[in-house]
Amino acid sequence: MTRYRNLSLFLLLAAVWGSAFMAIKAGLGTPTAPGGFFHTPVLFAAIRYDVAGVVMLAYAVVVVDDPLPRGRDQWLTVAVGAVLLIAAYHALLFIGETDPAVTSAAAAVIVSLSPVLTTGFARAFLPGESLTAAGVAGTLLGLVGVAVLSNPDPGNLLGGGVVAKLLVFGAAAAFALGSVLTRRIDSDLDIEPMEAWSMLLGALIMHVAGYARGERLAEIAWTPEALAALAYLSLAASALGFLVYFDLLDRLGPVEINLVSYVAPVFAALAGWLFLAETPTVATVVGFALIFGGFLLLKRDAIRAEVSRLGATRAD
């Protein structure tokens, strides 16, 4: 029964996080029909986390004894989460997805590079870590996957969505670096208040960044699609998604839960096809295969150990 519960939650998380890329596209609108947040992508991300942060903080007040961070390390963890995991990741992702060339599936595939980048950053910032030859090969293979996915035109390197895809790649790198730095700080702050305060502070940073970019609330077209996308991203993808993620992380471990990044693009492609008439390209499929191959190379020992553990569990 527990196995089926874990599988159901895993698929739910992949579906919610995968379809979030479609919801971002739908909420942003398009250049030809710029309803919603097309002219205010950073403000879109900020408002998303205004809502999600309040919901998470209310949840934290209920489930933990002390929802306030205490001391330097706990506030530093919140700051890293706010700047990298929330503000930088989502601002770059939302801006990148304003480009029509960046489909829901393409964005999800690029973001699926995060586990590969996380491993690379861990080798650089965590003591005692070093990349083997296979690890270097895995990292390079993942980067080649992004290059294939970007499909640059040598005669026009800034066209065809290349810059937008590089912004999404920057978002994945920010998330990976933030994950490693929060692990390095290793404060004893509970997950719920850490997420809540990171979301709220990250939202504030994005409000400031959006204002600096010239984005204004008056520019937002509050269409039904924009409101539906905002509600879905705030409540389902953020609040519910993170709760499911950390529940599974405790029981499955980091190797299995990392695989969400590789199932999510399937749901992103399906949601994009159903709601936005997006068709995945050959470059999307090949790029995904290369990134996944890089992940397998980097995590080969952990995956082998996990398979052995699961086999022993079933035998018992």
DSSP string, 284-300: HHHHHHHHHHHHHHHTH
Q: In the chain, which ranges are E strands?
A: none
* C-alpha distance across the termini of the chain, in Å: 15
Write down the pLDDT at residue 298. Answer: 67
Write down the pLDDT at residue 17. Answer: 93
Q: Would you put residue 282 in left (φ > 0), alpha (ψ -120 to 50) or beta? A: alpha
- Structure-token pair, residue 78: 């919140």
pTM of the prediction? 0.84
- Sign of the C-alpha dihedral, residues 280, 244, 138, 112? positive
- pLDDT average per 10 residues of sequence, the chain (316 residues): 75 92 91 77 97 94 92 93 95 94 86 80 66 67 68 52 90 89 81 92 98 94 92 93 79 68 85 88 80 75 68 58
For 133, residues 6+ apart whose C-beta sits below 8 A from its C-beta are none
Give the number of domains in the chain: 1
User: Using alpha carbons only, what angle is made at residue 267 by residues 264 and 285, rounded to the nearest 5 degrees?
Assistant: 75
CA distance 27 to 161: 19
Of 243, 246, 203, give the one whose Cα is nearest residue 82.
Answer: 203
- Domain coverage including residue 52: 2-315
For 189, residues 6+ apart whose C-beta sits below 8 A from its C-beta are 69, 73, 74, 77, 78
On the CB side of 182, CA atoms within 13 Å amount to 26
